[in-house]
A and B are shown apart, each in its own frame.
Chain A
Amino acid sequence: SQQGEEDPQALSIQEGENATMNCSYKTSINNLQWYRQNSGRGLVHLILIRSNEREKHSGRLRVTLDTSKKSSSLLITASRAADTASYFCATDATAAGNKLTFGGGTRVLVKP
């Protein structure tokens, strides 16, 4: 399986702190995406980073990609209670066919 592995599985922080989570994958990718899921609902796309990019920003989100280490990180700065959710990385890899392969997710709890 080329499923991404996310670390940590769970994270608890205070409002205002930064949250960092990591995703590792096994094979070369075309792009890597991060999604957020609240309470077992549908996923919301956060950011996409292509294999030839190293860093992307979107609001309070910063994503890095290190293809040599086959890993990515998602940083949420100045977290808010509303950021409480599960965060998933998903990889698009040619070897995996025309589909996204999701990691196991990181559960983030932001305490007010």
Chain B
Amino acid sequence: KAGVTQTPRYLIKTRGQQVTLSCSPISGHRSVSWYQQTPGQGLQFLFEYFSETQRNKGNFPGRFSGRQFSNSRSEMNVSTLELGDSALYLCASSERGLDEQYFGPGTRLTVT
């Protein structure tokens, strides 16, 4: 099976812009989770989707949003970008939820 793919791999945006990141899970996986990784805060949970429904959300402002499509592909959107949003954004998929998540390579977002 193909692994989790994330596009784009690298992105440079300017403060105030918005960005959309995409994640394609492993075929058959219905759960997709998103994480933000920064040197200062480490790995932080953003949200998790299962069968197009958001099941849980982390402690991030409303500028961070996501969705999942019927084919399990997921997107996350960050509006009104701030410098502090610069991070590696990781997507992970699994069959049901929290057991053994498969991570994609990440999207490195730089906000200038």
A residues neighboring B (CB under 8 Å) = 3, 30-31, 33, 35, 40-45, 48, 88, 92, 97-105
Q: How far is the CA of A48 from the CA of B94 in the complex (A)?
A: 14
Q: Are B103 and A102 in contact (CB under 8 A)?
A: no
A103-B44 Cα distance, complex, nearest whole Å: 10
Q: Is the CB of A98 within 8 A of B43?
A: no
Across the interface, do A102 and B88 meet the contact criterion of CB distance under 8 Å? no
- Would B97 and A98 count as touching, CB distance under 8 A? yes
Q: Does B42 contact A (CB under 8 A)?
A: yes
Q: Which of B42, B48, B103 contacts A104 (CB 8 A)?
A: B42
11 A-B contacts (beta carbon < 8 Å): A30-B98, A40-B88, A42-B90, A42-B104, A42-B106, A45-B101, A48-B100, A88-B43, A99-B45, A99-B58, A100-B33
Contact (Cβ within 8 A) A99 B103: no
Q: How far is the CB of B91 from chain A (nearest CB, A)?
A: 8
Residues of B within 8 A of A30 (CB): 98
Collect the chain A residues with CB atoms within 8 Å of residue B58's CB. Answer: 99
- The reply to whether A98 and B104 contact each other, CB–CB distance below 8 Å, is no
Verify B102–A99 contact, CB threshold 8 A: no
Q: Whole-angstrom distance between the alpha carbons of A101 and B56 in the complex?
A: 13
Which residues in chain B, 1-53, are within 8 Å of chain A measured between CB atoms?
4, 33, 35, 37, 42-45, 48
Check if B63 is an interface residue, CB within 8 A of chain A. Answer: no
Cβ-neighbour of A48 out of B42, B99, B104, B106 (below 8 A): B99
Enumerate chain B residues within 8 angstroms of A3, measured Cβ to Cβ.
42
Q: Which of B42, B88, B99 contacts A31 (CB 8 A)?
A: B99
- Beta-carbon contact of A92 and B98 below 8 Å: yes
Q: Shortest distance in angstroms between A98's beta carbon and chain B's nearest beta carbon?
A: 4
Among A35, A40, A88, A99, contact of B106 (Cβ-Cβ < 8 Å): A40
A100 near B45 with CB under 8 A, answer yes
Give B56's nearest chain A residue, CB to CB.
A98
Q: For residue B98, which residues in chain A have a CB less than 8 angstroms away from its CB?
A: 30-31, 92, 98-100
Q: How far is the CA of A101 from the CA of B41 in the complex (A)?
A: 12
Q: How far is the CA of A42 from the CA of B103 in the complex (A)?
A: 5
